[in-house]
Amino acid sequence: MQSEGKTLARPHGGTLVDLVVAPDRAAELERRAVRWPARHLTERQRCDLELLACGAFSPLTTFMGPEDHDSVCEGLRLADGTLWPMPVALDVDEQTLRAAEARGHLALRDADGALLAVLEPRRAWRVDPLAEATAVFGTDDTAHPSVDALVHRTEPWYVTGPLEVLPRAVAPPGRDDQDLRFTPAALRRHFTELGITRVVAFNTRNPMHRAHHELTVRAARETGAHLLVQPVVGPTKPGDIDVPTRVACYRGLMPSYPAGQATLAILPLAMRMGGPREALWHAIIRQNFGASHMIIGRDHAGPGPDSHGRPFYGAYAAQELVRQHQHELEVRMASFPQLGYVEDTDSYEPVDQVPPGTRVRTVSGTEVRQRLARGEALPTWFTPPAVAAVLRDRFPPLTAASA
């Protein structure tokens, strides 16, 4: 499909999707749904539903149908030409599908049985997980977490149809991070009330280290924008640090930014670790949340090494794909190289720009997790004090833990 397709460009105007029903309709659905077959959503599906319902996945209004799904897999676009690089589909087993088709409704429930939404099944088709994996992630290697999920944990049918969502799906009760949860409309309103017209978004799935902090400071300065730290708190990569610990780290770090110049807002996105496609997807999502700029770094949303120890994607492939489609986006890319710590100057600099022979230090995410698992402290040049305090509490030294 050619690049002159329709543009998705509505970060500061236009109407975002809102699929949440009124309380009286929600009560009616609760009463009726007890008689309908149910799909108990996985954590990924739960996140997809929430972002569909609140408008973060605008212009999508439900899980994708076959034409949109195939078009996205093949050409990064919906069937009408709108730029959209990642499939968002609802998989079900055949028995549940046939029962839902017979009754005309499928109840979408949380793991504890609470009703989240109702889907009217209109279209269904069989899944080809390997074809989707190869098209979207460029590989059938199950070392890629999303390929593994497609091959081993995906039901054989996709289904779509009109969707009605209950309020609890976008405002999960009993969460201690409610103050950080914004719908796109609410976050855009927040920026408008503050008189902010330029916003640079930063995506992360790990506790922020000093290089992240330096990168975000530079991005805000170079774009002249308010900083939006918007970490992903849905499923990410197996082995990642748990969400409550990460959120505590983000909260602890925010006072290090100048007052009024940064906002923390969590994003319940189920990452696919899809490298370049995911980077483009992140940019579109942040556009819906009101960002004018998006930081795309080295190996953005990379899943780590393949089964042969090689990277799945090129280090700057994500930046290249976003740049290729920049003319279709209203959110502008703020691209940065990898930063490393230079001991001689006690500063973070682009690793490919330091003079030859200069010692540059970096720590990988894998090494961070290994150190924490062993109860070892992270180096002070790497970890901001506020983040270190949280991590020391969550991952105490082994000697202290065994005392």
pLDDT tens digits, one per residue of 150-171: 999 999 999 999 999 999 999 8
Q: Is 0.85 surpassed by the pTM of this model?
A: yes
Distances (CA, A) of 185 to 46, 213, 237: 20, 27, 28
pLDDT at residue 336 is higher than 80: yes
pLDDT at residue 185 is higher than 70: yes
Q: Within this chain, do residues 141 and 220 fall inside the same structural domain, yes or no?
A: no
Domain end among 116, 141, 169: 169
Catalytic hit among 154, 206, 358, 362: 206
Q: Within this chain, do residues 154 and 220 fall inside the same structural domain, yes or no?
A: no
Domain end among 169, 202, 232: 169
204 tagged catalytic:
yes
Instruction: Locate 62 and state its tokens.
Output: 């439900």
The CATH number covering residue 325 comes to 3.40.50.620
Catalytic hit among 62, 160, 203, 204: 204
Q: Within this chain, do residues 242 and 273 fall inside the same structural domain, yes or no?
A: yes
DSSP state at residue 355? P
Q: Within this chain, do residues 323 and 392 fall inside the same structural domain, yes or no?
A: yes
Q: Within this chain, do residues 264 and 379 fall inside the same structural domain, yes or no?
A: yes
Q: Is 2 part of a structural domain of the chain?
A: no
Tell me what pLDDT residue 306 has. 97
Q: Within this chain, do residues 130 and 278 fall inside the same structural domain, yes or no?
A: no
Q: Is 29 part of a structural domain of the chain?
A: yes
> What sign results for the dihedral spanned by CA atoms 341, 345, 351, 355?
negative
Note down the domain range covering 360.
178-401
Tell me what pLDDT residue 16 has. 67
Angstrom distance (rounded) from CA 354 to CA 364: 19
pLDDT at residue 340 is higher than 50: yes
Catalytic hit among 44, 46, 181, 205: 205
Residue 202 · residue 219 · CB < 8 Å: yes
Tell me what pLDDT residue 38 has. 98
The CATH number covering residue 118 comes to 3.10.400.10
Interval 214-221 mean pLDDT: 95
Q: Tens digits of per-residue pLDDT, 379-392? A: 889 999 999 999 98
Q: Tens digits of per-residue pLDDT, 50-84? A: 999 999 999 999 999 999 999 999 999 999 999 99
Domain end among 139, 169, 199: 169
Averaged pLDDT score across all residues of the chain: 91
Q: Tens digits of per-residue pLDDT, 286-325? A: 999 999 999 998 899 999 999 999 999 999 999 999 999 9
> What sign results for the dihedral spanned by CA atoms 61, 64, 68, 73?
positive
Q: Within this chain, do residues 144 and 285 fall inside the same structural domain, yes or no?
A: no
Q: Tens digits of per-residue pLDDT, 256-267? A: 999 999 999 999
Residue 208 · residue 386 · CB < 8 Å: no
Q: Is 12 part of a structural domain of the chain?
A: no
Q: Within this chain, do residues 195 and 321 fall inside the same structural domain, yes or no?
A: yes
Tell me what pLDDT residue 8 has. 37
DSSP state at residue 21? P
Burial 9-22 (b: 16+ CB within 10 A, else e): ebbeeeebbbbbbe
Q: Within this chain, do residues 137 and 185 fall inside the same structural domain, yes or no?
A: no
> Which of 199, 169, 184 is CA-nearest to residue 21?
169
Q: Is 8 part of a structural domain of the chain?
A: no
Q: Is 281 part of a structural domain of the chain?
A: yes
Q: Within this chain, do residues 89 and 68 fall inside the same structural domain, yes or no?
A: yes
Domain count, the chain: 2
Q: Is 272 part of a structural domain of the chain?
A: yes
> Which of 69, 133, 86, 150 is CA-nearest to residue 280?
86
Tell me what pLDDT residue 395 has. 87
Q: Within this chain, do residues 59 and 200 fall inside the same structural domain, yes or no?
A: no
Q: Is 14 part of a structural domain of the chain?
A: no
pLDDT at residue 5 is higher than 70: no
Q: Within this chain, do residues 202 and 345 fall inside the same structural domain, yes or no?
A: yes
